[in-house]
Amino acid sequence: MARFEAYENNGGTCVAVAGADYCVVAADTRLSVGYSILSRDSSKIAHLAYKCVLASSGFQGDVKALQRNLAAKELLYEHNHNKKMSCPAMAQLLSNTLYYKRFFPYYAFNVLGGLDSEGKGCVFTYDAVGSYERTGYSAQGTGAALMMPVLDNQLKSPSPLLLPARDAVTPLSQSDAVDLVKDVFASATERDIYTGDKLEIVVINSAGSHREFIELRKD
């Protein structure tokens, strides 16, 4: 008997790392179902606001619907307030949007990265129903469990329980952070069949943003 499945995990992994004056957001470009690769060139990253980037893993249909929803709300905000939405404001908007759909949630696991109003790097990590926190780095998706131990070891974000509160930004330089992201993806692709093909990296800093691609395993 045919059975309706509302959700499907299309795999992939997203990572974001925040520094003192930059943010690195990266994701692979593989789109797959089970043991079948549907696309080797499917971007998981969307520019949403001024110096603010969203990377999402999960069900591709929900990811695209969520990105369009947020882009429309950001455009309305810009017209109503005559200014671009900040990254922390977009983080709250994303949380509200996910929570609004909590009874039939977007099957999307999100990492939001960019610069805050002071020019510091910021990373916000989410669950599927909008609970979020600001951290120095995060990973979401099928390869996240393989990447987070390496990021924890290399970046060692201070505990939020420490007083006085310390910055969660990472101590690495921008180039070192990009190299670290490349290394964790190269490692994860050895074990995670849903992560691979190409790595898309977006670096956001005071000069703007730029994008680069590197090749990953294709098997």
DSSP string, the chain: -----S------EEEEEE-SSEEEEEEE--EEETTEEEES----EEEEETTEEEEEEE-HHHHHHHHHHHHHHHHHHHHHHSSPPPHHHHHHHHHHHHHHTTTS---EEEEEEEE-TTS-EEEEEE-TTS-EEEESEEEEETTHHHHHHHHHHHH-PPPTTSSS------SS-HHHHHHHHHHHHHHHTTT-TTS-SEEEEEEEETTEEEEEEEE----
Inside any domain, residue 4: no
Write down the mean pLDDT value for the chain.
Answer: 91
Task: Find the length of the chain.
Answer: 219
Alpha-carbon gap, residue 180 to 143, rounded angstroms:
15
Taking alpha carbons only, the member of 160, 152, 122 closest to residue 25 is 122
pLDDT at 170: 79
> Exposure of 96 by Cβ count < 10 A (0-12 exposed, 13-18 middle, 19+ buried)?
exposed
Say whether pLDDT at 132 is over 90. Answer: yes
Inside any domain, residue 17: yes
**Average pLDDT of 169-183?**
91
pLDDT at 167: 64
pLDDT tens string 68-79:
999 999 999 999
Query: What is the domain extent for residue 196?
Result: 13-216
**The CATH number of the domain where 121 resides is what?**
3.60.20.10
In order of 38, 52, 58, 106, 142, the CA distances from 32 in angstroms are 5, 27, 10, 18, 11
**Average pLDDT of 27-51?**
93
Inside any domain, residue 21: yes
Inside any domain, residue 102: yes
pLDDT at 165: 61
Inside any domain, residue 40: yes
Inside any domain, residue 2: no
Band of pLDDT at residue 50, cut at 50, 70 and 90: confident
Output 213 or 4, whichever has higher pLDDT: 213
pLDDT at 163: 67
Alpha-carbon gap, residue 72 to 41, rounded angstroms:
25
Say whether pLDDT at 168 is over 70. Answer: no
82's tokens: 């005559």
Looking at the 3D structure of the chain, how many domains does it have? 1
Inside any domain, residue 104: yes
The neighbour count for residue 129, using CB atoms within 10 Å, is 14
Report percent pLDDT > 70 for the chain: 94
pLDDT at 155: 87
Inside any domain, residue 1: no
DSSP string, 107-121: -EEEEEEEE-TTS-E
Band of pLDDT at residue 1, cut at 50, 70 and 90: low
Report percent pLDDT > 90 for the chain: 78
